Amino acid sequence: MAHFAKIEDGIVTNVIVAEPEVIASGIFGDNWIQTSYNTRGGVHYDPITKLPSADQTKALRKNYAGIGDTYDSIRDCFIPKKPFPSWLLDSETCLWQPPIPYPEDDKLYHWNELNLNWELSPYI
């Protein structure tokens, strides 16, 4: 079994689990592209250890496809929805990056788009 994303006008409209032969048969129509559940930022992660897999050939299309994500046919990758207008796309990972890196002090933060900064989360 594998995961497949339905692409309509460059947007992911559905993600299913199916045998590749079933998708190839056309029973579900056209425009299905395989995606890897354990791939993020171009790296495949072992589902048990959560560490990068020894076999990186399993990494497909930079990121696992989600409904509403974009499929870039030129890069052959899935790009998640942009979380904030100020964030920029990392062309290597095809992930959105904030204009200021997340603080590395083990505290929980959330992004404030109005002030363009990270703020301590009030939910801790």
pTM over 0.75, yes/no: yes
Look at residue 5 in the predicted model and tell me its pLDDT: 98
Q: State yes or no: pLDDT of 123 exceeds 90.
A: no
Look at residue 17 in the predicted model and tell me its pLDDT: 97
Nearest to 12 by CA among 91, 73, 83: 73
Distance CA 57, CA 4 (A): 17
> What is the token pair recorded at 96?
């959105």
Could you give the percent of the chain with pLDDT greater than 90?
98
Distance CA 81, CA 40 (A): 14
Give the three-state DSSP class for 84: coil
| SS3 track for 101-118 | CCCCCCCCEEEECCCCEE
The band of 124, judged by pLDDT with boundaries at 50, 70 and 90, is: low
Contact between 41 and 93 (Cβ < 8 Å)? yes
